[in-house]
């Protein structure tokens, strides 16, 4: 009830504040509706449409906001973190090993996943004793990636201890930083290059976690 009363008071206050403007608009509307529509479209309609088109283009092709739903990338990304994804960089260069990428989940393309890029097509991956080796070299020696313990999963197709995994051409092998609680390439396989959405580069919410991603 209090909220309704507050809303009525705000509406009355706004009405009194803009009284002259409202009266002028009403008089014009009653006198010449065609002129009123033309002026209203010019002052409000056109700017709104242009702004909406710009926003859609930016969100679709340049910069996209995403919300992290799970803890598969802890501690790098926490549940409910909101991030920005750069959708344009990979149009001009290939992804780099160790980058955090967003992609369409191969088994359900309507879903977007976020993981760390580990290996490229044609490379051989081995997960052994908590370490990841790419073509025989430890991951941290190939990329400036944080050090995480990567678990083997004997019940997953590509997660067995010491197994050599050959990444198919035009595909990526990805892992979650929270390896114990991440469904990733160890389980469902590889990410086709065409599924790539962009590069996660910034946490913008909550305020205490604002910062660029490494």
pLDDT in tens, 107-153: 999 999 999 999 999 999 999 999 999 999 999 899 888 889 999 99
Chain-wide mean pLDDT for the chain? 85
Last residue of a domain, one of 28, 45, 63: 63
CA distance 193 to 77: 23
In a domain, 90, yes or no: yes
CA distance 170 to 196: 11
34 with 89, same domain? no
Q: Which of 72, 179, 182, 185 is catalytic?
A: 72
Angle between helices 19-31 and 2-17 (to 10 degrees): 70
55 with 77, same domain? no
57 with 128, same domain? no
Q: What is the CATH number of the domain that holds 176?
A: 2.10.109.10
Residue 13 has a pLDDT of 44
- 94 sits in which H/E element: none
Residue 185 has a pLDDT of 98
Residue 57 has a pLDDT of 55
CA distance 20 to 32: 18
Q: Which of 115, 171, 179, 185 is catalytic?
A: 115
Of 201 and 51, the one with more pLDDT: 201
30 with 97, same domain? no
Q: How many CB atoms lie within 10 A of CB 82?
A: 16
Q: Is 38 an annotated catalytic residue?
A: no
- At 99, list the tokens: 């980058």
184 with 128, same domain? yes
CA distance 213 to 199: 10
In a domain, 4, yes or no: no
Percent with pLDDT over 90 in the chain:
65
55 with 109, same domain? no
In a domain, 15, yes or no: no
Phi-psi sector, 98: left (phi>0), alpha (psi -120 to 50), beta? left
97 with 144, same domain? yes
Token pair 């750069």 in the structure block, residue: 86
In a domain, 145, yes or no: yes
**CA distance readout (Å), 167 to 14, 160, 176, 189, 213:** 63, 15, 17, 9, 26
110 with 37, same domain? no
126 with 85, same domain? yes
Instruction: Report the number of distinct structural domains present in the chain.
Output: 2
Nearest to 165 by CA among 126, 119, 116: 126
111 with 178, same domain? yes
Q: Is 72 an annotated catalytic residue?
A: yes
What is the model's pTM?
0.77
In a domain, 14, yes or no: no
CA distance 122 to 142: 16
Q: Read off φ and ψ for residue 6, nearest 5 degrees.
A: -60, -40
Q: What is the pLDDT of residues 51-71, one digit of tens each?
A: 667 656 555 666 889 999 999
Q: Give residue 95's domain range.
A: 68-212
131 with 172, same domain? yes
Residue 34 has a pLDDT of 72
| Residues paired with 104 in a beta bridge | 112
């Amino acid at each position: 009830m209090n909220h309704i009363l507050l809303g009525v008071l705000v509406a009355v206050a706004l009405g009194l504040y803009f009284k002259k403007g409202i009266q002028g608009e009403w008089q014009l509307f009653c006198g010449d509706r065609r002129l009123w529509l033309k002026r209203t479209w010019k002052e409000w309609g056109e700017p709104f449409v242009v702004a909406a088109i710009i926003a859609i283009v930016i969100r679709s092709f340049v910069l996209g906001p995403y919300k992290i739903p799970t803890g598969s990338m802890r501690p790098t990304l926490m549940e409910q973190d909101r991030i920005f994804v750069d959708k344009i960089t990979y149009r001009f260069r290939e992804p780099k090993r160790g980058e955090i990428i967003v992609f369409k989940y191969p088994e359900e393309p309507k879903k977007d996943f976020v993981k760390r890029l580990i290996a490229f097509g044609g490379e051989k991956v081995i997960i052994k004793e908590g370490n990841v080796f790419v073509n025989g070299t430890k991951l941290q020696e190939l990329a400036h990636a944080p050090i995480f313990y990567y678990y083997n999963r004997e019940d997953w197709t590509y997660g067995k201890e010491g197994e050599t995994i050959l990444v198919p051409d035009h595909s990526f092998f990805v892992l979650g930083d929270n390896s114990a609680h991440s469904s990733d390439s160890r389980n469902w396989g590889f990410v086709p290059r065409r599924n790539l959405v962009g590069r996660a580069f910034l946490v913008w919410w909550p305020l205490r976690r604002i910062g660029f991603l490494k």
